[in-house]
A and B are shown apart, each in its own frame.
Chain A
Amino acid sequence: MRSGGVVPWLGIAIPGPRFIAVWQRDRDVFLRLWKAEVLAPTIEPIVTLLGLGLGLGAYVELGGDRDYVEFLAPGMLMVFPMFGAMFEALFGSYFRMDQHGTYAAIQATPVRPEEIVLGDIAWAATRMALNTGLVLVMLLMLTPWLGFVKSPLVILTLPVSLLCGLLIAGVSIAFTSIARSISQLSYFFSIYVLPMFWLSGAFFPTDDLPRWADIASNLFPLYHAVVLSRALTEGDLSWGLLGNLGFLLAFLLPSLWLGIWAMRRRIIRG
């Protein structure tokens, strides 16, 4: 077997800085197509926020003087941007791996398979943070009327989004690596993304759900990102948030490893 720098107990080589060249490639493609790529991630969360918040919100009683639309806003900074990371790591990576020969082309260069995958994961996470930024700009513009943003700490939702994006992309790209066709990618959407979406705590508090659903929600990275986003948007910090941040940090390396290990196998098999 070719060693290729593989650490035996990890099953992968430790990626070096060359993953940045892959990230740059993805960025260059995005910059060429950005006009078509930023509209949906900006508009969808705002339409959902106003539609659910003002429409459904009229029938929702949260207790206290809080409006439902205010409750929804912080979640929009994570939930919809999450789709950006997921689509990039599912469909984007599938095309690069299977249809366009992008991975094959890079394989003939000194960039290792591990670095190809990490570059793609890093770009998917960047997309999530970028989308969070777009939604944040919209929320800030609406804040004078609807009072969404209550603290400058909201800017920290960007690094939280990036961190959450790395976890989501790692898991998503691992799934991409076992997909035999584009249509199989939708399985992942049904079994992982949709439950995560509804149990994220963005649309309703999960504390009052049946116990199994509450526990399940805590296993998804998105849930913790939404908790953090809510606290940062409202400027309402507590020690408990360290637990949420701790969850994301604890699963960072395992998620990256999973994505890299799984996709490396697919790339090498060719």
Chain B
Amino acid sequence: MTAIIRAEALTRRYGDFFAVAGLDFEVAEGEFFGLLGPNGAGKTSTIKMIACVQDVTDGLLEVGGLDVRTNDRAVKSLIGMVPQDDNLDEDLTVRRNLEVYARYFGVPRHLAKERIEEGLALMQLDEKADEPISALSGGMKRRLVIARALVNEPRLLILDEPTTGLDPQARHLVWRKLRLLRERGTTILLTTHYMDEAEQLCDRLIIMDNGKALSEGRPRDLIAEHAGREVLELHLPPEETARVVERLAPMLGESGRIEQVEDVVYAYGVDEAHYRTVEEMASDPYRVIFRRANLEDVFLTLTGRGLVE
């Protein structure tokens, strides 16, 4: 498969601050690729460089085989961008928003018309086509921004935290639409600080922190490698936590590890037997949780911090 994005030692610096500090990755055509990390990890800076909205400070960055430094216009016409904020034109109707955007790409009018109707149907907005933007809910606005990003039939769709601020229902609808787009063959690059979003959607992802990649791989593989299968979470009072940890620590094998974030203790490399032991010790067994490991745990294991602060 050919790479649609190729980044080598990609760097973005503001003054003395490195927002992106030497990032290497490739995204293959047709892939659903994620950048997962907390706020300030460098996700948005990375996609802004890919979309030629911000300059590359150093390193190599190619989109569709083109160097972004010298081919801004050509690269931008390959990309559909869904930014963090819904920067829709509030003074225009839903359909007119898309028409205006298609003109920026120089899409011929008849072709734009077709794509707009298709996009509105795909995003379940056809009934709202002639409404003002103010008549849309948060989830609808998001879907409209996605429809807008499709008017140029992009080879690469970029979404910057597409479900931040949406209620669970709206969120699931956006996810469904994104999976639909992937099935239709669109290459998608997504940034998120929600581990469930990354886990649900991404074929492959990079976990980022402080402008660097901590780890890269398929979500399940990353979890298995860094967090094991199961996790024990202790939400106990401090003295009790100390006692439990003292007892639990020697029981863990080589792959076992204990992390504390704020007032919660996480134990990795655990099994059912550990859970039984801790549950028996706890004054309130309800505050001991035994669950499957996820990407949040991967991040925690790699940094000792939570994803969403």
Interface residues of A (CB under 8 A from B): 1-5, 18, 21-22, 24-25, 28-29, 32-33, 100-102, 104-112, 268, 270
Which chain A residues border B100 with CB–CB below 8 Å?
Answer: 21, 24-25, 28
Residue among A5, A33, A104, A111 making CB contact with B91, cutoff 8 Å: A33
Q: Taking each of A1, A18, A21, A105, which has the highest tally of chain B beta carbons within 10 Å of its own beta carbon? A: A105
The smallest C-beta distance from A156 to any residue of chain B, in angstroms, reads: 31
Q: Is the CB of B53 within 8 A of A110?
A: no
Chain B, Cβ-Cβ closest to A29:
B91
Residue among B70, B76, B96, B103 making CB contact with A3, cutoff 8 Å: B70
Q: Does B79 contact A (CB under 8 A)?
A: yes
Q: Is the CB of B87 within 8 A of A21?
A: no
Question: Would you mind naming 18 contact pairs between A and B with Cβ atoms under 8 Å apart?
Answer: A1-B55, A2-B55, A4-B72, A18-B104, A21-B103, A22-B104, A25-B100, A28-B100, A32-B96, A100-B89, A101-B83, A101-B87, A104-B87, A105-B87, A110-B73, A110-B76, A110-B77, A110-B104
> A28-B92, A104-B87, A110-B76 are contacts. A2–B56 as well, Cβ < 8 Å?
yes
Q: Is the CB of B87 within 8 A of A100?
A: yes
Interface residue ranges of B90-124 to A (CB < 8 Å): 90-92, 96, 100-101, 103-106
Q: Is the CB of B106 within 8 A of A108?
A: no
Q: Does B229 contact A (CB under 8 A)?
A: no
Which chain A residues border B83 with CB–CB below 8 Å?
Answer: 101, 104-105, 108
Q: Is the CB of A24 within 8 A of B103?
A: yes
Q: How far is the CA of A100 from the CA of B68 in the complex (A)?
A: 27
Q: Does B54 contact A (CB under 8 A)?
A: yes
Total of A-B residue pairs, C-beta within 8 Å: 78
Given contacts A24-B100, A110-B106, 9 further A-B contacts (CB under 8 A): A3-B72, A21-B106, A100-B89, A105-B83, A106-B104, A108-B79, A108-B81, A109-B101, A109-B152
The smallest C-beta distance from B82 to any residue of chain A, in angstroms, reads: 9
Which chain A residues border B89 with CB–CB below 8 Å?
Answer: 25, 29, 100, 102, 105
> A28-B96, A29-B89, A29-B91 are contacts. A111–B104 as well, Cβ < 8 Å?
yes
The smallest C-beta distance from B96 to any residue of chain A, in angstroms, reads: 6
Q: Is the CB of B104 within 8 A of A109?
A: yes
> A18-B104, A100-B90 are contacts. A107–B77 as well, Cβ < 8 Å?
no
Interface residue ranges of B17-72 to A (CB < 8 Å): 51-56, 68-70, 72
Question: Nearest 5 pairs between A and B by C-beta?
Answer: A101-B87, A109-B104, A108-B81, A21-B103, A105-B87
Q: Is the CB of A32 within 8 A of B92?
A: yes
Q: Taking each of B53, B100, B104, B152, which has the highest tally of chain A beta carbons within 10 Å of its own beta carbon? A: B104
Which chain A residues border B88 with CB–CB below 8 Å?
Answer: 105
Chain A, Cβ-Cβ closest to B70:
A3
> A2-B68, A102-B87, A108-B51 are contacts. A25–B56 as well, Cβ < 8 Å?
no
Q: How far is the CA of A21 from the CA of B56 in the complex (A)?
A: 27
Which chain A residues border B131 with CB–CB below 8 Å?
Answer: none
Q: Does B85 contact A (CB under 8 A)?
A: yes
Which chain B residues border A270 with CB–CB below 8 Å?
Answer: 53-54
Which chain A residues border B70 with CB–CB below 8 Å?
Answer: 3
Q: How far is the CA of A110 from the CA of B104 in the complex (A)?
A: 7
Q: Is the CB of A2 within 8 A of B69?
A: yes
Which chain A residues border B52 with CB–CB below 8 Å?
Answer: 2, 4
Q: Is the CB of A112 within 8 A of B87?
A: no
Q: How far is the CA of A108 from the CA of B298 in the complex (A)?
A: 33
The smallest C-beta distance from B113 to any residue of chain A, in angstroms, reads: 15
Q: How far is the CA of A28 from the CA of B95 in the complex (A)?
A: 12
Q: Is the CB of A21 within 8 A of B92?
A: no
Q: How far is the CA of A145 from the CA of B152 in the complex (A)?
A: 57
Q: Is the CB of B106 within 8 A of A18?
A: yes
Residue among B54, B91, B105 making CB contact with A109, cutoff 8 Å: B105
Q: How far is the CA of A110 from the CA of B101 in the complex (A)?
A: 11
The smallest C-beta distance from A142 to any residue of chain B, in angstroms, reads: 34
Chain A, Cβ-Cβ closest to B54:
A270
The smallest C-beta distance from A14 to any residue of chain B, in angstroms, reads: 13
The smallest C-beta distance from A79 to any residue of chain B, in angstroms, reads: 28
Interface residue ranges of B229-280 to A (CB < 8 Å): none
